[in-house]
Amino acid sequence: MNPDEGVRPFFFPQVVVEIKALACELPWENGIPLSRFSTEDIAAEAAKRGIVASISGATVWRWLNEDAIKPWQYKSWIFPRDPEFREKAERVLDLYHGVWDGQSIGVDEYVISADEKTSIQARIPKHATKAAAPGQCMKVEHEYKRGGALNYLAAWDVRRAKVFGRCEPKTGIAPFGRLVDQVMNTEPYRSAKRVFWIVDNGSSHRGQPSVKRLRKMWSNIEVVHLPVHASWLNQIEIYFSVIQRKVLNPNVFSSLDEVESRLMSFEKRYQQMAEPFEWKFTKNDLSKLLTKISPKIAQIPKISDTSPKPLALAG
């Protein structure tokens, strides 16, 4: 190293390599009680291991930035484990483009995307919220008391941009059945040739029993299940994200009744300007995605014989 003030210290290339390798480790696997490394943590650990006598966090950051290594960041991920992931996902993507079993669906057939947004709380602030003012944003009291929680069930007509929603104290087979009745008791669904219901694998509408149950209620229903861990393919989730941004964040309510009132009022407001979502994810995009993640899935070690088996994806 050059001790002269203002001169950047010199490090051998091997030091840079070892620092980057250290940054790519999981701290706890080496007895370090951290969930994530910061640049300062890496600098301290490098000195402890004898990689360098000392080094600054800024130097560590500069080296890691060269290879876009960011151990202080993380994101959740999950891998497909449905053995029919591709087939189920492609059926849903086809429906979004008006196709079922290779044939265009008719004008008297409809596609519904449905799910539940669960445990929506009523957080009652201990002091009144202050509206925005010149030079100041809205101010929301940090402390609150809990006013209970409810569940918002909704169905979205993919091609007609029509939304149906209801609030329920609990989720389950019966509440979801009431949502189905709410939709199917109105025209044009009641007299439609077929109404495709796209749902995930939640307990309210899981598996073949839900297919039989809903078909018994309405003979023109065609239940279409998403693959496991594929709620991101369900268009109703887009509407729920709008609800989250526009209604529930910040969570400021005086009571649970106000939560329900605002949700239902927003539904009416949204309906006045609703248009079909511009869905751009295609079967070709799905194929590219599955090809991309296939090698990563193959590298996932088996935890036990009873653990979910990763999907063997086609290249």
Domain ranges of the chain: 13-66, 85-273
Q: Which element (helix H / strand E) includes 120? A: strand 109-125
Tokens standing for 309? 């088996």
pLDDT of residue 79: 74
Q: What is the CATH superfamily name and number for domain 85-273? A: Ribonuclease H-like superfamily/Ribonuclease H (3.30.420.10)
Per-residue pLDDT averaged across 111-124, rounded?
A: 96
Q: What is the pLDDT of residues 45-55, one digit of tens each?
A: 999 999 999 99
Confidence of residue 301 (pLDDT cuts 50, 70, 90): low
pLDDT of residue 296: 62
Angstrom CA distances, 146 to 3, 120, 121, 170, 257, stand at 59, 11, 7, 17, 13
Q: Which pairs with CB-CB distance under 8 Å and at least 24 residues apart come from 22-31?
A: 22/46, 22/49, 22/51, 23/60, 23/64, 23/69, 23/71, 24/69, 24/71
pLDDT of residue 41: 97
- Nearest Cα residue to 230 out of 117, 84, 132, 129: 84
pLDDT of residue 307: 42
More confident residue, 314 or 89: 89
Q: Is the pLDDT at 229 greater than 90, yes or no? A: no
Q: Do 306 and 75 form a contact (C-beta atoms < 8 A)? A: no
Q: Is the pLDDT at 145 greater than 70, yes or no? A: yes
Q: Is the pLDDT at 309 greater than 80, yes or no? A: no
pLDDT of residue 305: 41
Q: Do 122 and 137 form a contact (C-beta atoms < 8 A)? A: no
CB atoms within 10 A of CB 154: 21
Confidence of residue 1 (pLDDT cuts 50, 70, 90): very low
**Positive or negative: CA dihedral 25, 29, 35, 38:** negative
- Nearest Cα residue to 69 out of 8, 137, 21: 21
Residues 6+ apart with CB under 8 A from 251: 121, 122, 123
Q: Is the pLDDT at 96 greater than 90, yes or no? A: yes
Confidence of residue 314 (pLDDT cuts 50, 70, 90): very low
CA distance 129 to 260: 19
CA distance 130 to 128: 6
Residues 6+ apart with CB under 8 A from 67: 20
Q: What is the pLDDT of residues 154-183, one digit of tens each?
A: 999 999 999 999 999 999 999 999 999 999
Q: Is the pLDDT at 71 greater than 60, yes or no? A: yes
Q: What is the pLDDT of residues 280-294, one digit of tens each?
A: 999 999 999 888 877
Tokens standing for 192? 């439609």
Tokens standing for 77? 């991920």
pLDDT of residue 304: 45
